[in-house]
Amino acid sequence: MTHSSEHRFVICIRNEDYPASLEKRKIYVALPDADAEKHHQVRVIDESGEDYLYPNECFLPVDLPEATERALVGVET
C-alpha cells in the first residue's frame, strides 16, 4: 500500500468542544504542520472547508488504501 506524502488522514473521535466544526467518526484530511505537532495539535480541513488546528486527542490516524485516499482528495485515476 503506497500513500501520498502530501496527505494523511485522521478520524474524529471527539468533538465535544467543536460540534459545528467536526463530526465524530468522520475522516478528515490532515495537513502537514510541524509547528502544530510540537504543540500536540493537528491541522485538518474541517466542516467549514478551511484548515484549522485542533487538539491531537480529537483524532486517530487512519491508514487507507491508495485508491480511497485519491477518492477523498478528489484525484482521478
Structural domain includes residue 3? no
Full-model pTM: 0.83
Strands 59-62, 51-55: pairing is: unpaired
User: How many domains does one find in the chain?
Assistant: 1
Residue 48 and residue 21 in contact, taking contact as beta carbons nearer than 8 Å: yes
Q: What is the CA radius of gyration of the chain?
A: 12
Average confidence (pLDDT) over 37-59: 96
Residue 11 and residue 26 in contact, taking contact as beta carbons nearer than 8 Å: yes
Is residue 54 predicted with pLDDT exceeding 90? yes
Residue 17's pLDDT band (cuts 50, 70, 90): very high
Indicate the SS3 state at residue 4: coil
Residue 1's pLDDT band (cuts 50, 70, 90): very low
Residue ranges making up the domain that contains 56? 8-73
CATH number at residue 35: 2.30.30
Q: How far apart are CA 7 and CA 2, in angstroms?
A: 12
Structural domain includes residue 60? yes
Structural domain includes residue 23? yes
Is residue 5 predicted with pLDDT exceeding 60? no
